[in-house]
Amino acid sequence: MKLMKLHFLLAFILPLAALAQTKATITIQNNSIVNRKESVVAIKWKTVLSSFPQIDTANFVVINSITKKQIPFQLEHHGQTAIQNLLVQIDIKAKSSLHLFIQKGKPELFTAKTYCRYVPERKDDFAWENDKIAFRTYGKALEKTEGDAYGYDVWVKRTSKLVLNDRYKRDDYHIDHGDGLDYYHVGFTLGAGNMAPFVKDTIRYSGNYHHWKILDNGPLRSTFQLSYDTWNAGGIKVKAVKIISLDAGSQLSRIENIYTFDDNNPMPVVVGIIRREKQGIIGLNEQQGIMSYWEPASEKDGTTAVGSILSTPANKMWVDKEQLLAKTSVRNNEPIVYYSGAAWDKADQITNSKQWQDYLDHFNQELQNPLIISVNELSKIQK
């Protein structure tokens, strides 16, 4: 009789144990008052492994518990051999939670929504894009030649398709062939949200980037690293490394700068946005660290909006003859993170200055109210 009971208990317990090893649940909570749409969320891979140690990285899927459908995901390495994060793209309403299942299965082929690459055929450009917008910055081969520029460039687009390779191949990206173009002028300014030291009340521009490294390249997040040679920033020798990432669905890039210099004191830096001669709509919110610019409309090319959000206190914001500037400070060899990006009214998603300001305010609220994420064995959830 006892033997029969033991067999019965084993028959009941073993399937549950197997279930816990082949399926886990991600719980995502949004405790803020803002809805999130197309948000890319990072779940630490170590947390996934603790609940699903037998996971096969080539044969698993992420399922929305309500729709029962697969959702896009990415294994983020951030330049390392080991996986760092599981990235998923979700919609989640304010004051709500979402459950996702991780389980064995064959993942669907999802369209890549982000991309970056080094462009040697165009004098060392480095370009990056997502399903909303595109950007580029300039390398050593362009330095001190006609067309050289210091800041970030914007390539506007009105398609969710990735366009960088086609535009470079066509070598005709200053004309709109139906999906957008490059009509943004940078010149010797910080362009669309680059950062530089601000020493003795003067912007101390670096040379163009010298070395590059891709850390991840889609489908949901592309991240790369740019290194700059030492330059004289008003009597201070400075080196810089910039790590830039762009998520699917976002108008803004995350930019992490690490400045190395021989000084124990903080070094002032500025983020800048080039301004145009004609009247545009400018927003400077020092308290929230948000700088926005709705450019004057081009007769044929529409309107570009540019904005930046600081994660460190803004000491001052102002407008000079050439650009909008936001001043903060950084310490030697300590990362400083901010966000910069753009939008185009012809994409028909953000079509006026209020919508652009609302977008930046909403983005900032998301930064201030991160989602709460937990991963559990399914059997624990069922209890």
CB under 8 Å, gap of 24 or more: what pairs does 183-187 form?
183/156, 183/298, 183/301, 183/304, 184/153, 184/154, 184/155, 184/156, 184/304, 184/342, 185/274, 186/149, 186/150, 186/151, 186/152, 186/153, 186/274, 187/149, 187/150, 187/151, 187/274
75 DSSP β-pair partners? 86
Does the domain at residues 114-351 carry the CATH identifier 1.10.260?
A: no
Sole residue written with tokens 């999802």 = 110
pLDDT score of 377: 77
Rounded Cα–Cα distance for residues 42 and 245 (Å): 13
**Cα–Cα nearest to 227, from 208, 241, 238:** 241
Please tell me the distance from the alpha carbon of residue 172 to that of residue 182, in angstroms, as a whole number.
Answer: 9
Kindly tell me the sign of the dihedral angle through the C-alpha atoms of 209, 215, 217, 218.
negative
CATH homologous superfamily for the domain 2-110+376-382: Golgi alpha-mannosidase II (2.60.40.1180)
- The CA dihedral of 182, 186, 190, 191, to the nearest 10 degrees, is -30
Residue 137 CA to its chain's centroid (Å) = 15
Instruction: State the pTM of this model.
Output: 0.93
Question: Where along the chain do the CATH 2.60.40.1180 domains lie?
Answer: 2-110+376-382
Paired tokens of 270: 């500025």
Considering only CA atoms, which of 284, 306, 325, 336 is closest in space to residue 201? Answer: 325
> Which ranges in the chain are annotated with CATH 2.70.98?
114-351
Contacts of 366 (CB under 8 A, 6+ apart): 32, 34, 36, 39
Q: Where are the alpha helices (DSSP H) in 239-377?
A: 353-368
Is residue 225 within 8 A of residue 243, CB to CB? The reply is yes
3-state helix, strand, coil in the chain (%, to 5): 15, 45, 35
- HSE, CB side, 13 Å, CA atoms: give it for residue 280: 26
Ranges of H-type helices in the chain: 2-22, 45-51, 164-170, 353-368, 378-382
pLDDT tens digits, 156-175: 999 999 999 999 999 999 99
Q: Which residue carries 């996934």 as its tokens?
A: 48
**Cβ neighbours of residue 53 under 8 Å, at least 6 residues apart?**
21
Question: Could you read off the pLDDT tens digit of each residue along the chain, which spans 383 residues?
Answer: 444 444 444 444 444 444 445 689 999 999 999 999 999 999 999 999 999 999 999 999 999 999 999 999 999 999 999 999 999 999 999 999 999 999 999 999 999 999 999 999 999 999 999 999 999 999 999 998 988 999 999 999 999 999 999 999 999 999 999 999 999 999 999 999 999 999 999 999 999 999 999 999 999 999 999 999 999 999 999 999 999 999 999 999 999 999 999 988 999 999 999 999 999 999 999 999 999 999 999 989 999 999 999 999 999 999 999 999 999 999 999 999 999 999 999 999 999 999 999 999 999 999 999 999 999 976 444 43
Quick check: bond before 268 cis, omega within 30? no
